Chains A and B, each alone.
Chain A
């Protein structure tokens, strides 16, 4: 059972619920992998996506998740919708709510947008990324990918590398992984680490990538936005790749067979070297599959009829 109406972040999601979502996602993955992708878990239900920020995979992932469970969906194109005519977020959400949608998936460039508006709509809100704050389904799919390889999160050493300051993926992973007992090592250039990062639960800040990666079970690269360079937060892509990127030599310093994760899309030869992206330890494509499974689980659990006791 999920306690809350919405999935806004992992910061406020109890450990047991994370566990439950991952358990259900494991079952859902069988559907994704099967030749007949049909299941009744969202039948008769509807989903709307409202993305104020671009998305390559997250939006499609939710759409596939909905279809595989027999639901219907509509994806609002913000660029051509009334949002462009100045309609407020709340008014837009209320309109979509009034279509009778069961789940609204929202992404916005400002932190807290789903949190602020979720109480005002009937539909279940799923946060698909709010500003720098959280991206819970991404962290859940990362965690599913880890759990498939390792039996437990307890004591798992996870290195998170790069632009932690601007990364909602990193934050959601920190909240989720620390709750499950993992050890998180963070490394990135000083200009891309948030203030007080060392005080986050379960986190150790490492001075070098090598220190973070040594003996790690999981190595996660974060996407670097190009504008970080144009705004002067890093001197050059070359310097970034040399000191904060991961190549095959660096990955070899991790535990044998360690997983390489990246939320995508990858800037080859920036966060990860060109070839390491496609190496056997790279889980990047597996993550995409797990993304569909996790989103199926989340939508199913949020809308399950006997949810409220």
Chain B
């Protein structure tokens, strides 16, 4: 099967060039001007952009255990609908993704779905209990790409030290959900004026920043690598920036909602805006954007956290944390980072593909002859209004509902196969 994508703007990690691109089987076989080759399908990509398929290093696919929120199949479908050709899924399932049986189950389900590639992340500690390390090496050899106790942060400093020390010897990526639960103390929104106005329990920025500093200091003292998940505060940005300057091997990610929304969204007890870490204030949004521009934050991930409607249609305190993010991520990033002039398109492509692949040590050289044809075609000029009922994800929980965004994913190719086409909907 050959597919010829004609006249698109090819977005590389460092430049944009108008060219034709030929997919032959699973790989990109030619890039150039006026490719004349006969193909089974010819796609006119005039005025459209062709990106290396986005890679989301932080999603929750909920299966096994929470299939009312999402399954691997619906999550993988949401991924390709959002332009993601690969996702790495977090281990806070039931049972926890801490053993080979569950790992195998996730791999099989992903294969059955045959949509986006799914890379499982296993838990740092058994059962995410923070007490005993998982069989990290065996799990890594069986296909886990990284380790994280996301959603249930490793409580003690000593356990985090052991995790980083053990993983260092084999260069296993460790992704840290940074939160000091004592400081969080039952909070559910950013601690600030809005928390006070609505009488909601606040989460002080220190809850995140103390943990960010802790992981960085431990990593620095061991000479180990560490990756910081979902950075949300100006203070975390400063800590990471300083650490990088000192040569600490730290990488970091943030999410579309932290570069676009503030805690003003919780007005009227809007549970769709309840997420952990919480939406912060304008100065934090500014700092996180600047950190993406100057390389302090390396990756954009979604922290896709789908929930059933009843998990959100209740009082704020008991509503679940999380945003279903796969299907709005690109458009939010494009609208709030590129259209505003914070970043250019090649830089966005690096943040959404190259850098996550580098942290997870996945193949991801981008668009080049001989590489796997993981590609996303996007119409940047297309304005659209977010309508969660159209999501492929089971999770319709998004604070972006009704918002107008720019940049629509037109097609997604995984290993040369067209897995999503917008006009086919």
Q: Which residues of A contact B (CB under 8 A)?
A: 11, 88-90, 108, 110-113, 115-116, 130-134, 168, 171, 194-197, 199-200
Contacts and interface: CB of A to CB of B under 8 A. Distances in A.
A200 B318 CA distance: 26
Nearest to A89: B315
- Shortest 10 CB-CB contacts between residues of A and residues of B: A133-B199, A196-B193, A132-B199, A112-B269, A194-B196, A111-B199, A110-B317, A110-B315, A113-B315, A195-B191
Contact of B198 (A111, A195, A200): A111
B316 interface: yes
A112 B201 CA distance: 12
Given A116-B314, A116-B316, A111 B200 contact: yes
A194 B318 contact: no
Nearest to B194: A196
B271 to A, nearest CB: 8
A200 B314 CA distance: 27
Contact of A112 (B191, B196, B198): B198
Contacts of B191: 195
Interface residues of B, number: 19
Secondary structure of the B side of the interface?
A: loop
B195 interface: yes
30 contacts: A88-B314, A89-B315, A90-B314, A108-B315, A110-B315, A110-B318, A111-B199, A111-B269, A111-B317, A112-B200, A112-B317, A115-B268, A115-B269, A116-B269, A116-B315, A130-B199, A131-B200, A132-B201, A133-B200, A171-B199, A194-B195, A194-B196, A195-B192, A195-B195, A195-B196, A195-B204, A196-B193, A196-B195, A196-B196, A200-B196
Interface in B181-204: 191-193, 195-202, 204
Contact of A132 (B200, B314, B315, B318): B200
B315 A11 contact: no
Contact of B316 (A112, A196, A197): A112
A216 B201 CA distance: 31
Q: Which of A11, A133, A168, A194 is the most central at the interface, judged by chain B CB atoms within 10 Å of its CB? A: A194
Given A133-B198, A133-B200, A168-B199, 15 more contacts: A110-B316, A111-B200, A111-B315, A112-B200, A112-B317, A116-B314, A131-B199, A133-B199, A171-B196, A194-B202, A195-B192, A195-B195, A196-B195, A197-B196, A200-B196
B318 to A, nearest CB: 7
Contact of A11 (B193, B197, B200, B314): B197
Q: Which of B195, B199, B314 is the most central at the interface, judged by chain A CB atoms within 10 Å of its CB? A: B199
A89 B195 CA distance: 23
Contacts of B198: 111-112, 133
Contacts of A115: 268-269
A194 B197 CA distance: 9
A196 B317 contact: no
Contact of A134 (B199, B200, B202): B199
A110 B314 CA distance: 11
A168 B195 CA distance: 13
Nearest to B266: A112
B190 to A, nearest CB: 9
Nearest to B196: A194
Contacts of B314: 88-90, 116
B289 to A, nearest CB: 23
B272 to A, nearest CB: 12
Contacts of B315: 89, 108, 110-113, 116
A115 to B, nearest CB: 5
Q: Which of B198, B315, B317 is the most central at the interface, judged by chain A CB atoms within 10 Å of its CB? A: B315
A199 B192 CA distance: 10
A113 B318 CA distance: 10
Nearest to A132: B199
A131 B317 contact: yes
Nearest to A135: B199
A133 B204 CA distance: 19
